[in-house]
Structure 1
């Protein structure tokens, strides 16, 4: 049996339906179901995507029309195929325990019928099933059991983010919120990598996924995973996450955590990065402090990383949009020559990139591949930055 490597970004939002109905209010208006598929298949070169607003009834109507028209193909082992990309349909929702803060969780389903059935059930516990990331007003254990009953996968989302995540705002131990046997994997988020997460002993059980949480088309595949599967289907994704029959997550590709907008603790009043996790700013005394992922992990985790034997490499990914001086026109030239962003980032010869985009951009991409870019740390909602070439050694 031959396995293939597939790139997968499993956390992409829908901004609006084709008719203009809102789904994710904070996402771009042109982020429709079909536009996401075209971007992923034709520009990004991603073979599997998770669209986590497929619970919305008007979105489901669009999907059904696309299937009926033959634009999309329903796969027998789960998922929907468009050209060379498979869509995994899912939902992001907010949960809250009796004595905990709120946390986001992702639920994925094999086909439109089960996605629709889950939406019908959960709509009884939500105020507006059309919109993204709504609060679930029910028991978490019932949610876990219902996802399982519909053949779904449950994954806690961006687990360290300071707002609405398991460790960022809900609990010190994930086991106080979810039953481990009900979870398929854990999503790291943009400001953490595997070595940071593996300081939390209870996470050794799980495969990690690193996804974009895209709110616009350009953000798709800023983080993604390489999974080894027989084909890009829901059934194979399940096996990869659970490490069954040789399938596995072979690598996580993500932003260097320092590029994440919540890596360091920052004071929103004076905009200073703080040296540790404190409720009050050391410089101006303000309590408007957003705690950083690195400091939060230091607070609840072990002092050193202990990674399990199944943990794959985490490859620092610097998306093309983070490369200094690489604007839309230059990006268009690169895509016209090399096809997709995956090709530019990982495989295109540096000399040919230089011939297309210039020496400086090619050098930045080369340093990104070698993990030698210097980065200004992000925090408090502000992304980090790749330092300019003239400041690089």
Structure 2
């Protein structure tokens, strides 16, 4: 077995002709740039690009295959340099069983399977070109279609207050919307971690995954996981999510939940802290209270408080390099020129090695970030938390 780093939730901002896919994504977030940055700058072994249902993205992948820069793997997935691309799609479910919209992720082993899914999806969405489109069928029908095409089905960022399974989609249980037997894993999202999510008993059957949900190139790999696989392919990923034949998620790497945009319950207008069930901000009077992930998980855990004993891999609170105070683009480029990739900087370099390349304060911040020793100002209401520099 070998160990591989994987970020399975990366968006496409624009196609190769400049058309929007993820409207809120950066214009520089093209498929070619995602592949190059993920492989060379970030040092990822596997990525999930979750807008591959868009016809122009399919066309670009097909052209890259024709040119020979992308090749299909026997075990599924597409090889670019040192990185395996897993074709995926993010879809919004909002059927009669949902309290609110729910985002889900679907992944397929080949571009042909993705084409078939895109053709089917086009009959059930308003605009097949765009990311995260609402599908006009119920959640279980969508699950069955994904499984028919040999795909993986994963609820996305499940605790985010908007457009997620537990944030808006269900009142108590995922069974209100989905068939639990057709779920392959659970994506936690930036404002939660394993210690929080494991308190919800119905999640005990699923592996937790941690991904960036990147809307820009710099955000790729702000969360990821280390996988133990024979090779970085779709079939091996499936086995890891099912924890069979020794394949598994070894470690989850993610933000300290306090850095997430929705960890605390606050007013989205003035960002004053608020009580969970408050409707109006006591500070500014706005009706803009956003219930935080921490409170929502407590609510769900209290519904059924049987303790979960499932053994889970460690969740490492890792602050991304672009959160480090004082670490600007020039210093980042210097680190990359010297150490090769962000994965090397985060996992392989010593403090002494860092200190030879960057100022002592920056080297200490990076080392402290890896050890969870930096002070964090908690986020909420749509505003990220902040890493506080030393006085």
Q: Same fold (TM over 0.5)?
A: yes
| 2:140–2:177 CA contact under 8 A, matched in 1 | no
Change in CA separation of 1:292 and 1:185 when aligned onto 2, cut-off 3 Å: same
Q: Which residue of 2 aligns with 1:18?
A: 16
Q: Secondary structure at the match of 1:237?
A: helix
Please give the TM-score of this superposition, normalised by the length of structure 2: 0.97
Q: Secondary structure at the match of 1:117?
A: helix
Q: Which residue of 2 aligns with 1:207?
A: 207
Query: Higher mean Cα deviation, 271-280 or 18-27?
Result: 271-280
Superposed displacement of residue 36, structure 1: 0.4
Superposed displacement of residue 281, structure 1: 2.1
Q: Which residue of 1 aligns with 2:174?
A: 174
Change in CA separation of 1:307 and 1:39 when aligned onto 2, cut-off 3 Å: farther
Superposed displacement of residue 274, structure 1: 2.2
Superposed displacement of residue 46, structure 1: 0.4
Q: Which residue of 2 aligns with 1:163?
A: 162
Superposed displacement of residue 214, structure 1: 0.2
Q: Which residue of 1 aligns with 2:92?
A: 94
Q: Which residue of 2 aligns with 1:271?
A: 271
Match among 49, 52, 62 for residue 54 of structure 1 = 52
Written as runs of structure 1 = structure 2, the 5 A alignment for 1:229-378 is 229-302=229-302, 306-378=307-379
| 1:277–1:295 CA contact under 8 A, matched in 2 | no
Instruction: Work out the CA distance in 1 between the residues paired with 2:350 and 2:43.
Output: 17
Written as runs of structure 1 = structure 2, the 5 A alignment for 1:96-115 is 96-100=94-98, 101-115=100-114
Instruction: Work out the CA distance in 1 between the residues paired with 2:286 and 2:293.
Output: 20
Superposed displacement of residue 385, structure 1: 0.6
Change in CA separation of 1:365 and 1:305 when aligned onto 2, cut-off 3 Å: farther
Superposed displacement of residue 90, structure 1: 0.5
| 1:252–1:312 CA contact under 8 A, matched in 2 | yes
The alignment covers a number of residue pairs equal to 388
Uncovered stretches (5+) of structure 2, i.e. residues with no partner: none
Match among 63, 67, 70 for residue 69 of structure 1 = 67
Q: Secondary structure at the match of 2:250?
A: strand
| 1:224–1:252 CA contact under 8 A, matched in 2 | yes
Please give the TM-score of this superposition, normalised by the length of structure 1: 0.96
Change in CA separation of 1:117 and 1:238 when aligned onto 2, cut-off 3 Å: same
The CA deviation string for residues 73-109 of structure 1, in whole angstroms up to 9 with x for no partner, is 1101100001100000010000013142110000000
Change in CA separation of 1:76 and 1:189 when aligned onto 2, cut-off 3 Å: same
The CA deviation string for residues 338-378 of structure 1, in whole angstroms up to 9 with x for no partner, is 00011111211111212211111111111112112210000
Q: Secondary structure at the match of 1:125?
A: coil
The CA deviation string for residues 119-178 of structure 1, in whole angstroms up to 9 with x for no partner, is 101111101101000000012222111100100000000000001000001102111111
Uncovered stretches (5+) of structure 1, i.e. residues with no partner: none
The CA deviation string for residues 301-335 of structure 1, in whole angstroms up to 9 with x for no partner, is 14989454331110111000000000000000000
Instruction: Work out the CA distance in 1 between the residues paired with 2:350 and 2:149.
Output: 46
| 2:9–2:214 CA contact under 8 A, matched in 1 | yes
Q: Which residue of 1 aligns with 2:152?
A: 153
Instruction: Work out the CA distance in 2 between the residues paired with 1:286 and 1:305.
Output: 38
Change in CA separation of 1:308 and 1:40 when aligned onto 2, cut-off 3 Å: farther
Superposed displacement of residue 113, structure 1: 0.2
Instruction: Work out the CA distance in 2 between the residues paired with 1:176 and 1:18.
Output: 39
Q: Secondary structure at the match of 1:163?
A: coil
| 2:241–2:249 CA contact under 8 A, matched in 1 | yes
| 1:280–1:286 CA contact under 8 A, matched in 2 | yes
Q: Which residue of 2 aligns with 1:32?
A: 30
Q: Secondary structure at the match of 1:17?
A: coil
| 1:198–1:305 CA contact under 8 A, matched in 2 | no
